[in-house]
Amino acid sequence: MSNQNPSSYDPNQPDPNQPPQSYGSAGSYGSAPEGSGAQPAEPQQRYDQGYVQGYQQPGYGQPIYAQPYGALPEHPQGTTILVLGIVGLFVTICAPIAWYMGSKAQKEIAATGVRYANEQNIKIGRILGMVLTILAIIGLAIGLAIMVIAIIAAVASN
């Protein structure tokens, strides 16, 4: 206990029975200069408080749990789009499907901003779908033109 009289207690004087406490240097940020008589400023809001309260910076996706650090998830349709683009070489109807699904997946990626490990598969499948669909349309147009010419030639020879 202190030998001081309770009526003469001064809150600005340190208690001689307590060890001195360090609160930072006299010129630390946010504190009033010693001897100025000014009250210290209210505590500054910490920058990380927003993070603690659930703030998330724009442009970043949700954290990926159960993935090794740095590993990106795969888009669920990435492999399907690539396979449809390749199969479009042999089965023509698969090419426009790959083009459509690839465009839809790329719009989804652009809207969400999430990066995927198989984005290259989506791009390749979409491009294959585009090229093969355009070639199929050109081939169909040429085939129809040849058929019309053959019909005209057959009618003219009769």
Confidence of residue 158 (pLDDT cuts 50, 70, 90): confident
The answer to which of 17-26, 46-55, 59-68 has the lowest mean pLDDT is 46-55
pLDDT of residue 71: 82
* Burial environment of residue 72 by CB neighbours within 10 A (0 to 12, 13 to 18, 19 or more): middle
User: In whole numbers, what is the pLDDT of the chain averaged over residues?
Assistant: 78
Residue 79 makes CB contacts below 8 A (sequence gap 6+) with 118, 121
- The answer to whether residues 82 and 121 touch, using CB atoms and an 8 Å cutoff, is yes
- The answer to whether residues 80 and 121 touch, using CB atoms and an 8 Å cutoff, is no
Q: Which has more pLDDT, 92 or 55?
A: 92
- The answer to whether residues 34 and 26 touch, using CB atoms and an 8 Å cutoff, is yes
- The answer to whether residues 99 and 130 touch, using CB atoms and an 8 Å cutoff, is yes
pLDDT of residue 52: 46
- The answer to whether residues 105 and 81 touch, using CB atoms and an 8 Å cutoff, is yes
DSSP code of 23?
-
pLDDT of residue 50: 47
* Burial environment of residue 98 by CB neighbours within 10 A (0 to 12, 13 to 18, 19 or more): buried
Mean pLDDT of 44-67: 52
Mean pLDDT of 102-106: 96
pLDDT of residue 72: 87
Mean pLDDT of 62-82: 78
Mean pLDDT of 107-118: 92
For residues 12 and 116, what is the distance between their CA atoms, to the nearest angstrom?
61
Element (H, E) at 125: helix 119-157
Mean pLDDT of 7-16: 64
pLDDT of residue 81: 96
- Other CB atoms closer than 10 Å to residue 117's CB: what's the count? 13
Q: What percent of the chain clears pLDDT 90, i.e. is strictly above it?
A: 49
